[in-house]
Amino acid sequence: MTATGPAGSFGPVRPRRLRRTPAMRRLATQVRLHPADLVLPLFVKEGIDEPQPIPSMPGVVQHTRESVRKAVTEAVQAGVGGVMLFGIPAVKDARGSGADDPDGVVQVALRDVGAEVGDSTVVMADLCLDEYTDHGHCGLLTPSGDVDNDATLERYASIAVAQAAAGAHVVGPSGMMDGQVAAIRGALDTAGFADVAILAYTAKYASAMYGPFRDAAECAPQFGDRAGYQQDPARSSDEAVREALLDVAEGADMVMVKPALGYLDVVRRLADAVDVPVAAYNVSGEYAMVEAAAANGWLDRDRAIDEMLTSIKRAGADIVLTYWATEVAARL
């Protein structure tokens, strides 16, 4: 036996070999952003003549009927995989009547956008009540002020059918009611919309990161909070896996984790647990943090954005919803 085995014949292992030049790093890349992975969320507001800037989301606006068409066209030109529409009605009431009104703001926008871009991108609609209710909760309330799960499911079923009739390719239930996917699937199938897909907000946490969105969508709860229906960040990711398996069993075509950055462990768990595409929502607070820091000169904005989106994909997301979708898709 000699003392010089293979280990002795080589120098130390050198992972840095693959990092040496830009060309080498490009070859060795394992996570590559692609425009088609990105989905652009858009806000459209009823009854405004000019797009309204959202102070806590610099660069994002509440769109008019006209400007949302233009924004979707630009997104399609940049190659994004899809758009997700959120509506802000002129009038709100306790049952969120605008949400399933055939002439409600999102239904009108869906028809406009459909006429503009057809099937060239995937047009999705957020399916929830909080933008439409005067109390700002995601469902109907009981007299004591709790969100009534099962009564809300009937509203969601009706909204799904209204959105599908207006041309949505995908509906995205975001209210975290138990049984929402089954209720929506059943309603869509019965109404002849078996081809409309469901992107379920499966693991949606009660998060401070939605703050700017609530300005954008004018949907902050008027009392209480959403912790009674959204997931508790302090629960184990096992709970998210359980919710995902339930959603898939109920007919979800895709599942989503939200927010993204603090929940990359959940993204990974879901990617391992289900065989449908996994989306992650890079939410308004995550957007605002980068924009605010960059505006102060504290971060390199573009690098921070690319790093965040790459990290979300590396964690296992197939699809990323991000307010930067058009910009990033155009530069890829």
In the complex, residue closest to ligand PBG by CB: 213
Q: Does 233 bind ligand PBG (CB under 6 A)?
A: no
Work out how close the CB of 154 gets to ligand PBG at its nearest, in angstroms, rounded to a whole number.
Answer: 18
Strands 122-127 and 170-173 turn out to be parallel
Phi, psi of 311 (to 5 degrees): -65, -35
Work out how close the CB of 247 gets to ligand PBG at its nearest, in angstroms, rounded to a whole number.
Answer: 16
The H or E element spanning position 200 is strand 197-204
Tokens (6 digits) for 169 = 């390719």
- Spatial neighbors of 127 by CB under 8 A, at least 6 apart, are 156, 159, 160, 163, 171, 172, 173, 174, 175, 184
Query: Among the candidate windows 45-53, 104-112, 124-132, 178-186, which touches ligand PBG by CB under 6 A?
Result: 124-132
Contact with ligand PBG (CB under 6 A): which of 112, 126, 243, 327? 126
52 bridge partner residues: 62
Query: Among the candidate windows 14-22, 123-131, 154-162, 178-186, which touches ligand PBG by CB under 6 A?
Result: 123-131
Query: Among the candidate windows 63-71, 210-218, 270-278, 289-297, which touches ligand PBG by CB under 6 A?
Result: 210-218
Work out how close the CB of 99 gets to ligand PBG at its nearest, in angstroms, rounded to a whole number.
Answer: 10
Work out how close the CB of 254 gets to ligand PBG at its nearest, in angstroms, rounded to a whole number.
Answer: 15
70 is catalytic: no
68 bridge partner residues: none
What string of DSSP letters covers 237-271?
HHHHHHHHHHHHHHT-SEEEEESSGGGHHHHHHHH
Q: Does 291 bind ligand PBG (CB under 6 A)?
A: no
Our separate counts of H helices and E strands in the chain read 12, 10
Contact with ligand PBG (CB under 6 A): which of 46, 100, 130, 327? 130
Contact with ligand PBG (CB under 6 A): which of 43, 156, 210, 229? 210
258 is catalytic: yes
The single residue of 45, 70, 92, 258 carrying the catalytic annotation is 258
The H or E element spanning position 286 is helix 284-295
Q: Does 283 bind ligand PBG (CB under 6 A)?
A: yes
- At position 281, the amino acid (one-letter code) is Y
Q: Does 319 bind ligand PBG (CB under 6 A)?
A: no
Q: How far is CA 222 from CA 120, 225, 234, in A?
A: 39, 8, 25
Contact with ligand PBG (CB under 6 A): which of 64, 67, 174, 202? 174
CA gap 200, 109 in Å, rounded: 21
* Binding footprint of ligand PBG, residue count (CB under 6 A): 10
Contact with ligand PBG (CB under 6 A): which of 213, 229, 263, 324? 213
Q: What share of the chain is helix, strand, coil (3-state, %, to 5)?
A: 45, 15, 40
- The residues carrying an active-site annotation are 204, 258
Q: Which residues bind ligand PBG (CB under 6 A)?
A: 126, 128, 130, 174, 210, 213-214, 226, 283-284
